[in-house]
Amino acid sequence: MPLKCTTEGCNKNARGKDPQKCIAHGGGLRCTTEGCNKRARGKEPQKCAAHGGGLRCTTKGCNNSAEGKDPQKCASHGGGLRCTTEGCNNSALRKDPQKCIAHGGGLRCTNCINWIDSRVGNPKYDGYCATCFKRIFPNDSRSKVIYEKSKEIMVRNKINENFDGFIHDTLLYTGNCGCNHRRRIDHRKLINNTIIAIETDEFAHRNYNNYDEKIRYNDLYMIHSGKWIYIRFNPDSNRDNTDIEDKLNILINTIETCINDIKMENNTELIKIIKLFY
């Protein structure tokens, strides 16, 4: 009979006699890197994945840990499970469903699980994503420490310093029926027949799926079938490493230009998308 982990309440098999613990509680070979006690991936070198142990990606110039032997690649270069959604080759988060995060993979939030843009659930928040948990249980002690949308708030404050009438992070309302639409826009204002929408896209939404973004544009157009101007603003690192204060000033100048174009009826496109610092 295999030895069991001696940690109280644990019934997993032990990996080794000294200490007689399962892998999760410190058993088996450990990484020999000073200060690291993670599980070693292989005996030579006896290192964890982060410090060079186990199979490495065979892509030239890449030394990330490989996800599987065939192909022996890291997740970024095609290793491991791939999303089964047609036309998508992103890394899948789990086998059931075998999807990337954009197409519903991973454990989903119990509140937004059926939304197109559903988020990953967190056991720390009882299976909800942090955003849904904070909105549904604002008085819970855990909601008090959720660090949420600091960059979006920074953009909101800058907009409010320079303009009046912008609506922030509120469900869209259509006058054709007594219902709200689930889609939110970070910052929006209706001027004449045009909605100017500013979206704070952290890290330029590099991990977002382009198809889902198109669906979002279509959904919003179904609510307001007038003209739209989207300003997609990346507050994080970009190729030129522009300072955040300079970024915000350029954003304000861009909003001013768009508002003037709307008032002068110079905006002729139904949907215009301006990307800043992508």
DSSP output for the chain = -PPBP-STT--SBPSSSTT---GGGT-S-B--STT--SBPSSSTT---GGGT-S-B--STT--SBPSSSTT---GGGT-S-B--STT--PBPS-STT---GGGT-SSBPTTTTTSTT--B--GGGTTS-HHHHHHH-TTSGGGGG----HHHHHHHHHHHHH-S--EEEEEEEETTTTEEEEEEEEEEEEETTEEEEEEE-GGGGTTS-HHHHHHHHHHHHHH--SEEEEEEE--S--TT---HHHHHHHHHHHHHHHHHHHHTT----SEEEEEE--
Position 90, amino acid? N
Structure-block tokens of residue 33: 């890197």
Q: What values do phi and psi take at 130, rounded to 5?
A: -60, -40
Confidence of residue 178 (pLDDT cuts 50, 70, 90): very low
What's the confidence (pLDDT) of residue 158?
92
Regarding predicted confidence, which is higher, 21 or 166? 166
**Over 60: is that where the pLDDT of 176 sits?**
no
**Average pLDDT along the chain:** 82
d(C-alpha 51, C-alpha 45), whole Å: 9
Q: What is the pTM of this model?
A: 0.49
163 by Cβ neighbours in 10 Å (0-12 / 13-18 / 19+) ranks as: middle
pLDDT tens digits, 72-119: 888 778 788 888 888 787 777 766 678 776 676 777 788 877 765 567
CB 74 within 8 A of CB 64: yes
d(C-alpha 98, C-alpha 85), whole Å: 9
Confidence of residue 180 (pLDDT cuts 50, 70, 90): very low
Regarding predicted confidence, which is higher, 247 or 215? 247
